[in-house]
Amino acid sequence: MSAFKKSPAFGATSTAAEVLDGVDLRGRRAVVTGAGSGVGVETVRALAAAGADVTLAVRDTDAGAAVASRLRDELPSSAGTLSVGRIELSDLASVAAFTAAWNGPLHILVNNAGVMSPPRITRTPEGREWQFGVNHLGHFALATGLRPALAAADGARVVAVSSIGHLFSPVVFDDLDYRYRPYDPWTSYGQSKTATALFAVGAAERWADDGITANAVMPGNVAATGLARNTDMDAVAGMLATGELVLPPGKTVEQGAATTVLMAASPTVAAVTGRYYEDCAEAQPVIERAGAVAGVAPYALDRDNAARLWTASEAFLR
């Protein structure tokens, strides 16, 4: 596929429903993490409306059940079924329990859940820095644990939700957990979202023989999510005022889910793998963060970086 190919008729303002209009996902099974709010809910809605049976993988199953109940009332009778499963991505035992309980093929895995920029360092039960542990390592464990189910689907797709925030930092392999350098909430977030993109590169290379594609996506600047629940918003306001932080144009949750469902289910990108998409198109490379509101850093798609991260991540799971 040629570089930077844009999907026909889709762009920054497209909605998830528009992207999947006419797509038939009956008989397909999907898992969406972080499906209790924001873009995750809209991702579930669009996939189910197209006929997919979707599992909402959430920390709070009561909240997930409430979302599923509301969506059932809103979706047409032709929609796929909705179920709820518990997963705490910061706890590898919880991830292992989720993958062990899964039976049968899995056609779509959307690694959507995320945390962003807590002001003080927090660690997972295994001792990983929290953002790296949740945004990357928990999803890595989930995807690798579900690989047999994805392979059994014969044409499965994995979507890793990254962010323009990856421009804040490459993966710093010599200090992934901030044991030596001072903790910074933004470089930590950036590292975790770079790792998310590199996972897609690594999975695309390793799982191609199983018919699995893997791609990273940037949903956009979507305010109506729970992502910033741990973030110091006064600090964000200060960064915006000084120009240290520049945000892309705002999107609705319906628009924010569009690129995710494009890569998860649209036939227009069926053969695409190992790429980074935003605004329903392959992202252009950027060489510096200053002023950038779109694009992907070369280090986030580097195959050597992806291989090194994969090896480190496997070691963390042992």
User: Given 189, 276, 277, 299, which residue is catalytic?
Assistant: 189
8 A C-beta contact, residue 132 and residue 191: yes
Q: Within 137-286, where are the H helices?
A: 139-145, 147-152, 185-206, 233-242, 253-256, 258-265
Which of 236, 263, 120 is CA-nearest to residue 183?
A: 120
8 A C-beta contact, residue 276 and residue 236: no
The residues, any chain, with a CB within 8 Å of residue 230's CB and separated by 6 or more, are 115, 116, 117, 118
Which of 171, 158, 166 is CA-nearest to residue 111?
A: 158
Look up residue 234 and give its two tokens.
């006064």
8 A C-beta contact, residue 262 and residue 7: yes
Helix H or strand E encompassing 126: none
Look up residue 34 and give its two tokens.
């972080």
CA 110 to chain centre: 6
Verify whether residue 189 is a known catalytic residue: yes
Mode of pairing for the β-strands spanning 281-282 and 276-278 = antiparallel
**Which single residue is written with the structure tokens 């798609």?**
301
Would you please indicate which residues are annotated as catalytic (active-site) residues?
Answer: 189
